[in-house]
Copies of this chain bind each other. A is one copy, B any other.
């Protein structure tokens, strides 16, 4: 119960319920869970190229030759990568920062995978093709720390001459103007596009 209670979102009562469920469950089910947790820690490690968790040397996206390896989408967390993958609108590859710069929480730029990203851009595809990275899409969260992280990365990438873009910001599709807050509406007006 003590171990289960350390999981996020699981309080003392839920931990108790889970523990009794495991006690009643078959050996197979309970040991299956234990095995899966052990595998998670021993088999899963960051992709050598983009730091997305994977079992292999490189992740599924980096290993897929049909994807556009000259466009890199930079995300904070693996779950952001999954969210963008689920749209099916992105054909490039990724780079997972593993967090955002937050000096107050003691997270500096050096704690993220920014150096590896800069090295990726500097060396090009690195598959012997000599092809260069064309575009870096900064897809950090549209928050203060996400914007700060993007700004820092953009300043590092600028001297390398690579095209740097960021996700569009504005009204969420399906929303209503009257319920949008002032910041969202200001962004939507200032970043307006040709129809």
A: residues with CB less than 8 A from B are 73, 75-77, 79-80, 82-84, 86-90, 137-139, 141-143, 150, 154, 163-178, 180-195
Report whether B137 and A178 are in contact in the complex, using a CB–CB cutoff of 8 Å. Answer: no
Looking at the complex, which one of B167, B182, B185, B192 makes contact with A188 (CB distance below 8 Å)?
B167
Q: Taking A165-B193, A188-B169, A189-B167 as contacts, is the C-beta distance between A177 and B83 under 8 angstroms? A: yes
Question: What chain B residues lie within 8 Å of A142 (beta carbons)?
Answer: 171-175
What are 19 of the A-B contact pairs (CB < 8 Å)? A77-B178, A84-B177, A88-B186, A89-B190, A141-B175, A141-B176, A141-B177, A142-B173, A143-B175, A154-B195, A165-B192, A165-B193, A166-B192, A168-B169, A168-B171, A172-B180, A172-B184, A174-B181, A174-B183
Residues of B within 8 A of A86 (CB): 182, 185
In the complex the two chains form, what is the Cα distance from A71 to B88 in whole Å? 37
Secondary structure dominating the interface of A: mixed
By beta carbon, the residue of chain B nearest A84 is B185
Q: How long is the Cα–Cα vector from A9 to B86 in the complex, in angstroms?
A: 38
Q: Are B139 and A177 in contact (CB under 8 A)?
A: yes
Contact between chains at B87 and A177 (CB < 8 Å): no
Given A141-B177, A177-B75, A167 contacting B164 (CB threshold 8 A): no
A185 surroundings in chain B (CB, below 8 A):
83-84, 86-87, 89
Distance of A134 from chain B, by nearest CB (Å): 13
Partner of A168, one of B79, B138, B193: B193
Known contacts A189-B89, A192-B168; decide if A174 and B143 are in contact (CB<8 Å): yes
